[in-house]
């Protein structure tokens, strides 16, 4: 991956904020997180809330590396 983050994507849906305020115990390993990241990013881009993945959200809120990867992916999808 080699995307340059330009500006923070507007990902702070209600669900994201809610997840941030809750227990941040990672429910997924980073590997599991990466496996689901494509679908997760698509759900975020296509309308978020309805397809909210709580386990993913919790992992991302607790894992800056995956969070950054997810944001990059979302930016990529939004740009395309
Ligand atoms: Zn992770």
CA of 71 to the centre of ligand 1 (A): 13
CA of 66 to the centre of ligand 1 (A): 4
Summarize pLDDT for 11-64 with one digit per residue, the tens: 667 766 665 566 555 478 899 999 999 988 988 888 755 456 788 888 898 899
CA of 27 to the centre of ligand 1 (A): 10
Q: Could you give the C-alpha distances from 1 to 20, 27, 32, 66, in angstroms and in order?
A: 26, 24, 18, 12
CA of 59 to the centre of ligand 1 (A): 6
CB 46 within 8 A of CB 29: no
CA of 29 to the centre of ligand 1 (A): 6
CA of 31 to the centre of ligand 1 (A): 7
Summarize pLDDT for 40-52 with one digit per residue, the tens: 898 888 875 545 6
Residue 68: per-residue pLDDT = 96
């Amino acid at each position: 991956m080699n995307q340059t983050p330009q500006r923070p994507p507007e990902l702070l849906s209600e669900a994201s904020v809610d997840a941030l305020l809750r227990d941040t115990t990672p429910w997924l390993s980073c590997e599991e997180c990466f496996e689901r990241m494509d679908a997760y990013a698509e759900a975020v881009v296509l309308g978020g809330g309805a397809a909210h993945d709580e386990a993913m959200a919790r992992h991302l809120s607790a894992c800056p590396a995956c969070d950054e990867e997810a944001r990059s992916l979302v930016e990529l999808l939004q740009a395309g």
